[in-house]
Amino acid sequence: MLNQLLGSLRRFAQLRKKEVKQGLYSSEFAASLVQSYSDSMMKGMHLVGGEAYIAAIQSEANKQCCSVCPGYQKSKKVKSKKNRIPLSGKFAEPNLNMV
C-alpha cells in the first residue's frame, strides 16, 4: 500500500511540475498543491490506523515539493500521538489534529 501511495504522490507532483512549465501555476502554488495532497493522504492514513506510513509520506512530500519549487520550505515532521483514544460508535468523530 505504501508504494501505491508514494507513486500517487509522485505522479501528482509530476503533473504539477508539468503545469508549472506550461505556465499554468507558479512553482510555489504548485508545491503548495502537492503539500495539500500529501496532507490529505496523511490524514487518511491516520483515520484508518496507518500511522506507520505517515513519516514516509511526509518525507516523499518534502522531496516532491522541493522538486516542484526548489526554494520550498520543508514541512515539519508529523508527531504521532502515543495516547490515542480508540473511536467508538458508527459515527464517531475522529480527531484530525496531527500535531
pLDDT in tens, the chain (99 residues): 899 999 999 999 999 999 999 999 999 999 999 999 999 999 999 999 889 999 999 999 999 999 999 988 876 544 444 444 444 444 444 555 554
Dihedral sign for Cα atoms in the order 19, 10, 4, 53: negative
Q: Rounded to two decimals, what is the model's pTM? A: 0.72
List, in sequence order, the alpha helices (H) in the chain: 2-21, 27-47, 54-68
Tell me the C-alpha distance between 4 and 9, whole Å: 9
Residue owning grid cell 508504494: 3
